[in-house]
């Protein structure tokens, strides 16, 4: 979100504006707040459109129809001022990046997330179509990735803009890379057009590009109308469905119920459907919470961004989980876990044990390094001493120890990196590798005495390796393994499906 600029309004209708969210073909979008403290997205129509009486009439009709759209995967239209100067529209604010922002920042989504995205968008579009509307401009920037599923924005409003554009310039409203062939030809469009756009959006989410490429709008439109889509890189289980949805003939495309049947999978149900980097983008967009003062003479104060597991404001208090309305037959999402002190404490404990496991894994590395230096010194490799190096069973044992130590160090570093991203594979890798390193450290001490080593006559490097590095590796390895296997560490990690 950007701060308001000079010339931006401070209020629109009864809503106080707090920052800029972006803009589009219809106007600017602001983050606003209702008088009761609810965050909303406020879209203000461009002045040149506001001067068009025909646009105002169509806008009012489309807004009225859009306000009837329900469902879990659309951003609800809550208010509008079609007669204001300029006209404005208010929808529920959905904290999260657009699909375009997420893919641009972190690359394509994993296949499981794409399937959940497609199921949510199909259900959202079905709710739009049930009210007699067609989206007309479904694209990655009109899809918001929220913590509990995707949301479709700007549904139904493009029709008012489309008719105005035809009147003025014979242009077709829509984003070339995501419009259907019939829309590109300027023909009458229906729900099947949104199915085509949905397939383009899913291909973009999975591959990071449109299936009809980029370039001048005319070239992209030509490929949409005449060429087959490029589905290279699309996960295999999605290729057939996406290809059917991209049929040139609207009648040959599956309907949304078929799309939902193919993508919805209760086994994939999870409250954490986004990869960790994108989930972080959602958290960063959580609005600050306005807390009404108890004293009428005080001004409302601002707190830090609210977390999903916090309840603040005038209705704060003991409450159950924030659960969306029940859905017949289930769906790809489950409700978040109950909020409250127990959940917060468990998350804090899990984070603490994960940090401890990572730190202990890193503590093994100096011990492994010391054991490596001991081996290099005893072999005459560090510092270089050709007279001391000779191939023997003793030399082979030390070379094997060196190779094992290098592999252990690499495994621990990789495990620490994965665990820092809340990947459960990191905890497993630390547990296994640290355990092996602990055994390696203990075996180093045993090997020293079995080969006739004497502490009084041993070289300084051997003393360092056997009595400092090896015990450090053994103790830190056992501690890292134990901590990585704790249930709190596993619960802290994000599930992978």
- Return phi, psi of residue 353, to 5°: -70, -35
**Residue 423, strand partner residues:** 494
Beta-strand (E) ranges in 199-350? Answer: 288-291, 301-305
pLDDT, residue 418, reads 82
Mean pLDDT of 238-254: 96
What is the per-residue pLDDT across 322-332, written as a single tens digit (0 to 9) for each?
Answer: 333 433 333 33
User: What pLDDT, on a 0 to 100 scale, did the predictor assign at position 239?
Assistant: 96
User: In which element (H, E) is residue 78 found?
Assistant: strand 77-81
Other CB atoms closer than 10 Å to residue 267's CB: what's the count? 7
The pLDDT value recorded for residue 13 is 93
pTM: 0.56
Weakest mean pLDDT among 66-70, 168-172, 354-358, 376-380? 168-172
How many of the other CB atoms lie within 10 Å of CB of 294?
Answer: 7
pLDDT, tens digit, 9 for 90 and up, residues 394-423 = 667 767 777 888 888 888 888 888 887 777
Choosing from 8, 137, 230, 265, which is the catalytic residue?
137
Centre a 10 Å sphere on the Cβ of residue 226 and count the other Cβ atoms it contains: 9
Higher local confidence (pLDDT), 463 or 237? 237
When pLDDT is cut at 50, 70 and 90, the band that residue 107 belongs to is very high
- In tens, the pLDDT along 111-120 reads 999 999 999 9
| Burial classification of residue 22, based on how many CB atoms lie within 10 Å of its CB (0-12 exposed, 13-18 middle, 19 or more buried) | middle
> 144 by DSSP, 3-state: which?
strand
Q: Are 264 and 124 in contact (CB under 8 A)?
A: no
- Cβ atoms of 149 and 334 within 8 Å: the answer is no
Q: How confident is the model at residue 95 (pLDDT cuts 50, 70, 90)?
A: very high
The reported pLDDT for the residue numbered 93 is 92
Mean pLDDT, residues 84-93 taken together: 90
- Residue 115 class from Cβ within 10 Å (0-12 exposed, 13-18 middle, 19+ buried)? buried
Residue 392 has what pLDDT?
61
Band the pLDDT of 334: cuts 50, 70, 90.
very low
**Average of per-residue pLDDT values in the chain:** 77
Between 168 and 278, whose confidence is greater? 278
Query: Is 43 flagged in the annotation as binding?
Result: yes
Predicted pLDDT at 376: 60
Is 137 labeled as catalytic in the residue annotation?
A: yes
The answer to whether 245 and 262 have CB atoms below 8 angstroms apart is: no
* Mean pLDDT score, 427-443: 86
Comparing 175-179, 333-337, 361-365, 369-373, the range with the smallest average pLDDT is: 333-337
Reduced to 3 states (helix: H, G, I; strand: E, B; else coil), residue 463 is helix
- For 37-55, what is each residue's pLDDT tens digit? 999 999 998 888 888 888 8
> Which domains, and CATH codes, for the chain?
95-277 (1.10.510.10), 345-492 (no CATH)
Cis upstream peptide for 142 (omega within 30°): no
Q: Which of 190-199, 271-280, 466-475 has the highest mean pLDDT?
A: 190-199
Tokens for 324? 């969306």
């Amino acid at each position: 979100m950007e701060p308001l600029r000079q010339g931006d309004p401070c209020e629109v209708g009864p809503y106080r504006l707090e920052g800029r969210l972006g803009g589009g073909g219809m106007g600017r979008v602001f983050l606003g707040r209702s008088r009761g403290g609810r965050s909303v997205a406020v879209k203000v129509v461009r002045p040149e459109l506001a001067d068009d009486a025909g646009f105002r009439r169509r806008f009012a009709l489309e807004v009225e129809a859009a306000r009837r759209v329900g469902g879990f995967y659309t951003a609800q239209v809550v208010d509008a001022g079609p007669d204001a100067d300029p006209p404005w529209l208010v929808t529920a604010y959905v904290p999260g990046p657009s699909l375009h922002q997420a893919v641009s920042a972190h690359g394509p989504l994993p296949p499981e997330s794409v399937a959940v995205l497609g199921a949510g968008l199909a259900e959202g579009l079905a709710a739009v179509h049930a009210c007699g509307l067609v989206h007309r401009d479904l694209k990655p920037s009109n899809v918001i990735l929220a913590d509990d599923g995707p949301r479709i924005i700007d549904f139904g409003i493009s029709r008012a803009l489309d008719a105005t554009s035809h009147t003025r310039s014979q242009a077709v409203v829509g984003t070339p890379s995501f419009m259907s062939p019939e829309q590109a030809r300027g023909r009458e469009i229906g729900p099947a057009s949104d199915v085509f756009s949905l397939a383009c959006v899913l291909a973009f989410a999975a591959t990071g590009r449109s299936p009809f490429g980029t370039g001048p709008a005319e070239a992209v439109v030509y490929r949409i109308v005449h060429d087959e889509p490029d589905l290279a890189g699309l996960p295999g289980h999605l290729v057939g469905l996406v290809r059917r949805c991209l049929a040139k003939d609207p009648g040959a495309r599956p309907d949304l119920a078929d799309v939902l049947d193919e993508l919805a999978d209760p086994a994939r149900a999870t409250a954490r459907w986004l990869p960790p980097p994108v989930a972080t983008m959602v958290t960063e967009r959580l609005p600050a919470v306005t807390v009404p003062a108890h004293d009428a003479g005080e001004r409302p104060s601002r707190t830090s961004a609210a977390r999903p597991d916090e309840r603040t404001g005038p209705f704060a208090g003991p409450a159950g989980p924030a659960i969306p309305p029940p859905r017949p037959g289930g769906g790809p999402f489950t409700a978040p876990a109950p909020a409250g002190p127990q959940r917060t404490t468990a998350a804090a404990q899990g984070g603490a044990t994960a940090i401890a496991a990572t730190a202990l894994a890193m503590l093994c590395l100096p011990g492994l390094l010391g054991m490596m230096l001991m081996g290099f010194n005893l072999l005459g490799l560090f510092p270089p001493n050709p007279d001391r190096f000779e191939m023997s069973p003793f030399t082979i044992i030390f070379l094997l120890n060196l190779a094992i130590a290098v592999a252990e160090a690499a495994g621990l570093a990789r495990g620490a990196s994965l665990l820092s991203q809340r990947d459960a594979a990191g905890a497993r890798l630390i547990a296994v590798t640290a355990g092996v390193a602990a055994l390696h450290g203990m075996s180093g001490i045993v090997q020293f005495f079995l080969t006739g080593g004497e502490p009084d006559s041993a070289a300084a490097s051997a003393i360092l390796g056997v009595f400092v590095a090896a015990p450090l590796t053994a103790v830190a390895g056992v501690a890292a393994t134990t901590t990585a296997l704790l249930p709190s560490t596993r619960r802290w990690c994000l599930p992978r499906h």
